[in-house]
């Protein structure tokens, strides 16, 4: 950007600092932070400070991160302290983890994850009484840990497993398959990581609990029923433990099966972005399956947009045709730092109130970057990123992304084909 004569803004620096954090570039990240303040005159926000805490925490610089938080010119929020707490868990620093947890208590209520992390840290340090006290506190506050589960699709049906699950009618076969898998794993040098079981029980009990994690049950069931050559796809509601990660890689190698594990809601679902229409804030759906920018008739009436009567139909790639009744001309719309006048078509919508179609995206020169949940708006004195929020709608859906319109006869086109697990 600098070589092109463009000045970075605060949003760009959030992306740069986040990238340095994930790449482990501590010195480069700190240099960028200082350059942002002293060379570009950008006052750091809480997001920038959070990035630096995360940067130091990932690198194991926990004392430096704590000192950085204490010397911040603005009050740290729960995200800053939670970043430090997560780093303490990763690097087994119980002392600073206790400080981070205590600092979180007055900032946010009814979040069991913070106390659960502290409980796990006590258990890893074999401080069983302290771990039990934290869990008792959770129970007294009526806070509960979300139980983990794994979903696996076999022959077009979804099967759900939880840890230590014995409810499946084929449980006997599933555990027999796990027993066979364990024998195969021993020859590959796999050894169960019992440190993942944070209970005051003997090693044998830990090994028994470890082998009955939901992901392992799902893999065993899929190996029994799924045909050779078909990938095993597992969706989890929580991240897998380190042992399950190692276990899955080894099983994939031994059985020459592709095993794909994904956390539910990750990089999927509808793309939503914050906008302002006539100074009214709302969330818009980024919909590349339609051309028109349109909103619900109820919303048009609510914010009192002037409109003219029209008649016609609007149709998306994956939706049925809907009648349109009015068009509001020269409507003030703002998305991030972009501000301009647009025409808005009204339609009888049931869910989202505002849809940003492909015509609008072209107007602001905004190519989508869906895998990093971002819109990059080019039509501005200074191009910048606009974050996208994901909303998982549930179920299996196939969405289409329209790349061009008005195709002429004999013009080359492209077809995307989806192949399911059955080879269709």
Residue-wise pLDDT for 169-215, tens only, equals 999 999 999 999 999 898 888 888 877 776 767 778 888 888 889 99
Across the range 291-306, mean pLDDT stands at: 79
Mean pLDDT of 394-422: 45
Coil, helix or strand at residue 84: helix
Task: Write phi, then psi, for 394 (nearest 5 degrees).
Answer: 85, 150
Q: What pLDDT does 393 receive?
A: 47
Nearest in space to 244 (alpha carbons), one of 204, 179, 190: 190
Phi, psi for residue 355 in degrees, rounded to 5: -120, 130
CA dist 43 → 29, 40, 360, 380 (Å): 16, 9, 32, 22
Segment 61-67 shows an average pLDDT of 95
What share of the chain in percent tops pLDDT 90? 23
Question: Strand locations in 255-383, DSSP E?
Answer: 259-263, 270-277, 280-286, 294-296, 308-314, 322-335, 338-347, 354-356, 368-369, 374-377
**Dihedral angle of Cα 87, 89, 93, 99, to the nearest 10 degrees:** 80
Please name the helix (run of DSSP H) or strand (run of DSSP E) that holds residue 31, with its range, or none. helix 26-38
Residue bearing tokens 């340095």: 20
pLDDT of residue 394: 45
CATH 2.40.70.10 is the classification of domain 271-391: yes
CA 391 vs CA 79, 103, 373: distances in Å: 21, 31, 11
What is the location of CATH 2.40.70.10 in the chain?
271-391
**Averaged over 49-58, what is the pLDDT?**
93
Region 10-108: CATH code = 1.25.40.10
Report the pLDDT value the prediction gives residue 293, as an integer from 0 to 100. 80
Ranked by mean pLDDT, the top range of 83-97, 105-119, 195-209, 381-395 is: 83-97
> Which DSSP state fits 152?
E
Predicted local confidence at residue 423, as pLDDT = 40
pLDDT band of residue 398 (cuts 50, 70, 90) is very low
Q: What confidence tens digit (pLDDT) does each residue in 231-286 have?
A: 898 988 777 888 888 899 999 999 999 998 877 655 455 678 888 888 788 888 88
Q: Which residues contact 347 (CB under 8 A, 6 or more apart)?
A: 294, 295, 296, 297, 314, 322, 323, 324, 325
Whole-angstrom Cα distance, residue 209 to residue 215? 12
Q: Which sign does the torsion angle of CA 91, 92, 95, 98 carry?
A: positive
Span of 68-77, 208-217, 311-320 with lowest mean pLDDT:
311-320
What does the pLDDT read at residue 361? 79
CA–CA gap between residue 259 and residue 396 (Å, rounded)? 19
Check residue 32 and give its pLDDT. Answer: 92
Contacts made by residues 207-212, CB under 8 angstroms, sequence distance 24+: 209/163, 209/164, 210/243, 211/178, 211/182, 212/163, 212/164, 212/165, 212/175, 212/178
Question: Are 81 and 118 within 8 A, CB to CB?
Answer: no
DSSP 3-state of 376? strand
Q: How many residues does the chain have?
A: 424
Residue range(s) occupied by CATH 1.25.40.10 in the chain: 10-108
């Amino acid at each position: 950007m600098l070589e092109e004569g463009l000045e970075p803004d605060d949003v760009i620096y959030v992306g740069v600092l986040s990238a340095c954090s994930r790449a482990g570039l501590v010195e480069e990240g700190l240099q960028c932070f200082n350059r942002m303040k002293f060379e570009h005159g950008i006052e750091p926000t809480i997001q920038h400070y959070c990035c630096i805490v995360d940067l130091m925490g990932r690198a194991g610089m926990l004392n430096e991160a704590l000192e950085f938080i204490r010397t911040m010119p603005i009050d740290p929020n729960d995200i800053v302290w939670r970043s430090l707490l997560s780093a303490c868990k990763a690097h087994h620093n119980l002392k600073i983890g206790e400080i981070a947890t205590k600092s979180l208590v007055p900032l946010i209520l009814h979040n069991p994850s913070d106390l659960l992390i502290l409980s796990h840290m006590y258990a890893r340090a074999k401080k069983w009484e302290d771990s039990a006290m934290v869990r008792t506190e959770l129970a007294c506050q009526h806070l509960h840990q979300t139980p983990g589960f794994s979903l696996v699709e076999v022959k077009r049906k979804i099967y759900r497993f939880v840890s230590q699950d014995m409810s499946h009618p084929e449980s006997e076969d599933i555990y027999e398959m796990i027993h066979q898998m364990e024998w195969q794993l021993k020859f590959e040098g796999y050894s169960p990581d019992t440190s993942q079981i944070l209970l005051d029980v003997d090693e044998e009990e830990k090994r028994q609990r470890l082998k009955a994690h939901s992901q392992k049950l799902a893999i065993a069931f899929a190996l029994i029923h799924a045909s050779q050559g078909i990938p095993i796809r597992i969706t989890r509601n929580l991240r897998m433990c380190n042992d399950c990660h190692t276990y899955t890689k080894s099983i994939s190698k031994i059985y020459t099966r592709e095993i794909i594990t994904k956390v539910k809601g990750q990089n999927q679902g509808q793309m939503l972005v914050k906008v302002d229409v006539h100074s009214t804030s709302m969330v818009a759906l980024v919909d590349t399956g339609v051309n028109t920018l349109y909103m619900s008739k109820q919303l048009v009436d609510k914010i009192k947009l002037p409109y003219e009567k029209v008649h016609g139909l609007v149709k998306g790639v994956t939706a049925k045709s809907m009648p349109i009744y009015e068009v509001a001309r020269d409507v003030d719309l703002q998305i991030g730092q972009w501000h301009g006048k647009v025409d808005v078509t009204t339609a009888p919508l049931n869910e989202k109130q505002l849809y940003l179609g492909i015509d609008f995206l072209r107007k602001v020169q905004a190519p989508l970057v869906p895998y990093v949940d971002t819109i990059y708006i080019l039509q501005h004195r200074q191009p910048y990123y606009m974050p996208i929020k994901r909303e998982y709608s549930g179920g299996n859906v196939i969405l289409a992304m329209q790349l061009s319109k008005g195709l002429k006869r004999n013009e080359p086109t492209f077809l995307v084909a989806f192949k399911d697990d059955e080879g269709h």
